[in-house]
Structure 1
Amino acid sequence: MSARRWTARARGLRGAAAGLVALGLLATGCGGDGGSSSGGKVTIRYAWWGAKDRSVMIKKTVKLFEKKHPNITVKTDFAEYADFWSKFNTQAAGGNAPDVFQNSYAFLRKYGEKNLLLDLNKQVKEGNLNLKGFRNGLEKSGDIDGKLYGVPVGANTFGFFYNPAAFKKAGVTVKDGWTWDDFFAAAKKVRKSDGTLYGSSDNAGVMYLYDLYLRQHGKAFFTEDKKLGFTKDDLKQWWNTWQQHSKAGELVPGKKTEQAKPKATISANLSAAEFTWDNFLVRFAAETDTPLELGPLPTTDGKKTAQYLSSLMLSGSARTQHPKEVAQLIDFMTHDPEVGKIMGYNRGIPATTAQYEAYKPSGVDAKIAAYEKSVAGKLEPITPHPAGTDVAEAAFLRTYTDVTVGQSSVDKAVDQFFDEAESALGS
């Protein structure tokens, strides 16, 4: 995710954390069995986060849905990531969450335990939602402890973005099996060969990147028993390594990252590399004319990337009065071929075979498709995300950002992160 998006995520996740107390008031009295209105039209609300291009696309798909379901009216609402979750928490605390909303794996357990998510299993049994035809077992990704809290609309995986012209000028080749030492050496060479570009963005505060690094070492960000899967010394080593290269002038300084907003540092032509989800190539391509490529992740042993498929999902509100119509909308958005053609890879590669085959990728989408095909044999199961993941992720980014802008030391930031994360996880 771009620097701007990661920071936006942090603001949004802090807002999510702030809403926990209020959301606790809703921990009883789950709705969802109120049924739909008999006769006449039913109105449901559909909300999502994203940039304007995603909003335009989704509104087109909503019009298609309403045309095929004339008895259902869909009111739409979208916002950037931070604003979306802040608004969602306020609405949920008042018992007025959207009937259908975009969600992610990191939030399923948290909001499921708060009884805010509709268990869609009943709708599957009643034939209103089809779980067949999903790719790579993605239909199981929204299952939390036997309850179906989300249905994926797209899948993505982590990747390494780079400026091929800058890397070529520096004499660096990005290839399978390269190591983290190779990556930092490449950043140094790029910086030396081009005084206008830093070798890479500083992504050490990205939880998902650190998770991959830990998985390469046989650990993970979270353990099966819902605790942090690493020590303070582990994290100090990770952050100190990145800070060493940042202070050497090889990575984009924190203050320049802040100044680059709303763009990412790579699309603001400050850096020659960035780590984030592969589908962000679509957004980067819209933000810069500089050609960018997707390459393999650095490894520890030259083999294990520890990648997994993640996905954006659609969830329903447990308090919706129209569970059938909610399921029908989710089913349409995940299976209809025309929706696949409209959305392309904006939310990742389509999760169902019908949409995957309906959309013929070109340009940047073709690059994403080729990248996912290249890593298909390396994918592993996703790391379990406990309730409190969003708070831990926000703290991870914010405390490291404090280091990059000179407001904290690594040692203090690590202590602060552990205090906040362990409290959120109930450790």
Structure 2
Amino acid sequence: MKKWIMLIMAFTLVFTLAACGTNNNGGILTNNSGGAGTAEGTNSGGDNTGGEKEAVTLRMAWWGGQPRNDYTLEVIKMYEEKNPHVTIEPEYANWDDYWKKLAPQAAANELPDIIQMDLGYITQYGTKNQLADLTPFLNNGIDVSNIADTVVNGGKLGDKLYGFNAGVNALQIHYDPEMLKKIGMDSIPDDWTWDDYKELAKKAGDAGIFFDTGQKPEVFFSYYLRQNGQKLYSADGTQLGYDNDQLFIDYFGMTQQAVLDGGSPTPDFSAQIKGIEDDPVVKEQGISVWQWSNQFIGLQQVANRPLEMHPLPGPNVKEGMFLKPSMFWSVSENSNNKEEAVKFIDFFINDIEANKLIKGERGVPVSSVVKEALKPLLTPEQVKVFDFITWAEENSTQMDPPDPIGAAEVMNLFKTYDEQMKFNKITPEEAAKKFREEANAVLAKNKQ
């Protein structure tokens, strides 16, 4: 009798252990993330609990071109393999369509769990209680032991962290040396100025090509203001930060003339550029693209020919230049899975194997460990980006605070008057006056 009891207990124990080791599909669980992990002994993002976890679905949104979309999907797949209880649903679009889609989602309290966020929008979304404060998750979900405080604090508004820095960025131009030769130049001078820019744009127009494919006014006018000791917004965000409209007139007079000379595209032409694949530089119709340093890699991949990078025009380049968070990762305040969303952000930031796929495309990595691990693996193009950031660290000044609430409306005003000037429907003098009146009216809403 005792033998039968012992046999029954043994079989019960076997079946109990087997049941504890099955997954949702009835198979035997293996420790998918408890093996070699990532390089340098880092095992970021893996589920090492050994137990079964409740299934979680996260929505994740980002903007970008096809190269970014491709590797991001690979990173997601890698994370899901390490964390089989997590499914990540991707939502991506180009820059303009991304924000058009995000706005109604925010209004309906249906933002994705993980959101790629821009410096120009983080105040708007953060102060409206649409983004979660990530401060409680620092070293409690997101490992910041190898990340400088100044980098972490880039997404702070007051005492709350609404976005985690995805990478470090700086402004520059990317150009095709072979296209530059068509206007009689082998390279852009190290000490070039805005007067040189005007001359080059005229030469390009005369040659039937574009010198640049357009400058986002809220980005490059801000750089121009910084060169002249001014800022786009006041410290309290209730009005414009510059009081001399001649700066507006001078800058937009240059970009307007570049279009009139044929050295920069008209707004209707630019409207047809839906992604990096359509850029005139890629199609060998233009010489340069003015954008952020991280975008060089994607442009190089799509163009598939040698390209170069160069600092923006002077004088006072150091005063104009600044290191910027390329973008942020934010978590929706309405997410029911904040902890899981934060774990993925940590994986994206700190996992070395994931960053071998990312390769600094979203900005130079913020983790010193990741940065060192990637150096031997970089392509010549990626080395250029890393080296430029090193140069920019020594040739830049403190970044301006995050844009105030209403900045998105100000950007739309920029776009409206920039287009009107480029169609020659309004003078820079008239646009400067109207822009100031309307922008200040928008920003005045921030007064307490």
| TM superposition score normalised by structure 1 | 0.82
Report the counterpart of residue 415 of structure 2 in structure 1: 397
8 Å Cα contact 1:402/1:408 also seen in 2 = yes
Report the counterpart of residue 114 of structure 1 in structure 2: 128
RMSD: 2.5
Report the counterpart of residue 308 of structure 1 in structure 2: 323
In 2, distance between residues paired with 1:311 and 1:261? 20
In 2, distance between residues paired with 1:342 and 1:371? 21
Corresponding residue SS for 2:121: helix
Report the counterpart of residue 375 of structure 1 in structure 2: 392
Cα deviation, residue 216, structure 1: 0.9
Q: Kindly indicate whether residue 364 of structure 2 is the aligned counterpart of residue 349 of structure 1.
A: yes
In 1, distance between residues paired with 2:53 and 2:269? 58
Cα deviation, residue 419, structure 1: 4.0
8 Å Cα contact 1:106/1:390 also seen in 2 = yes
Q: Percent identity?
A: 25
What per-residue deviation string (whole Å, max 9, x for no partner) do you get for residues 253-311 of structure 1?
A: 44444455552233333322232112222232244355321012111247644333232
Gaps of 5+ in 2: 1-51
What per-residue deviation string (whole Å, max 9, x for no partner) do you get for residues 82-107 of structure 1?
A: 22222222222222211111112222
Q: What amino acid is aligned across from residue 217 of structure 2 in structure 1?
A: V
In 1, distance between residues paired with 2:310 and 2:410? 28
In 2, distance between residues paired with 1:48 and 1:255? 26
Report the counterpart of residue 211 of structure 2 in structure 1: 199
Counterparts in 2 of 1:332 and 1:396: CA distance versus 1, 3 Å = same
Cα deviation, residue 353, structure 1: 2.0
In 2, distance between residues paired with 1:378 and 1:48? 30
Report the counterpart of residue 246 of structure 2 in structure 1: 233
Report the counterpart of residue 405 of structure 2 in structure 1: 387
Report the counterpart of residue 247 of structure 1 in structure 2: 260
In 2, distance between residues paired with 1:339 and 1:114? 32
Q: What amino acid is aligned across from residue 212 of structure 2 in structure 1?
A: S
Equivalence map 1:2-13=2 (5 Å): none
Report the counterpart of residue 324 of structure 1 in structure 2: 339
Cα deviation, residue 319, structure 1: 1.2
Q: What amino acid is aligned across from residue 331 of structure 1 in structure 2?
A: D
In 2, distance between residues paired with 1:237 and 1:45? 44
8 Å Cα contact 2:171/2:292 also seen in 1 = yes
What per-residue deviation string (whole Å, max 9, x for no partner) do you get for residues 177-216 of structure 1?
A: 3221222233334555xx232333342x521111111111
Which shifted more, 111-120 or 247-256? 247-256
Equivalence map 1:46-57=2 (5 Å): 46-57=60-71
Which shifted more, 281-290 or 322-331? 281-290
Gaps of 5+ in 1: 1-37
8 Å Cα contact 1:253/1:404 also seen in 2 = yes
In 2, distance between residues paired with 1:329 and 1:250? 44
Q: 2:161 aligns with which of 127, 130, 148?
A: 148
8 Å Cα contact 2:213/2:265 also seen in 1 = yes
Q: 1:58 aligns with which of 50, 53, 72?
A: 72
Report the counterpart of residue 48 of structure 2 in structure 1: none
8 Å Cα contact 1:245/1:251 also seen in 2 = yes
Q: Kindly indicate whether residue 306 of structure 2 is the aligned counterpart of residue 288 of structure 1.
A: no
Q: 2:170 aligns with which of 157, 163, 175?
A: 157
Report the counterpart of residue 71 of structure 1 in structure 2: 85
Corresponding residue SS for 1:77: strand
Counterparts in 2 of 1:239 and 1:43: CA distance versus 1, 3 Å = same
Counterparts in 2 of 1:64 and 1:201: CA distance versus 1, 3 Å = closer
Which shifted more, 108-117 or 352-361? 352-361
Q: What amino acid is aligned across from residue 344 of structure 1 in structure 2?
A: K
Q: Kindly indicate whether residue 375 of structure 2 is the aligned counterpart of residue 361 of structure 1.
A: no
In 2, distance between residues paired with 1:317 and 1:255? 35
Q: What amino acid is aligned across from residue 362 of structure 1 in structure 2?
A: T
How many residue pairs get aligned? The number is 386
Q: What amino acid is aligned across from residue 198 of structure 1 in structure 2?
A: F
Which shifted more, 101-110 or 294-303? 294-303
Q: What amino acid is aligned across from residue 382 of structure 1 in structure 2?
A: M
Cα deviation, residue 426, structure 1: 2.4
What per-residue deviation string (whole Å, max 9, x for no partner) do you get for residues 41-85 of structure 1?
A: 222222212223222211221222223233333222222222222
Report the counterpart of residue 177 of structure 1 in structure 2: 191
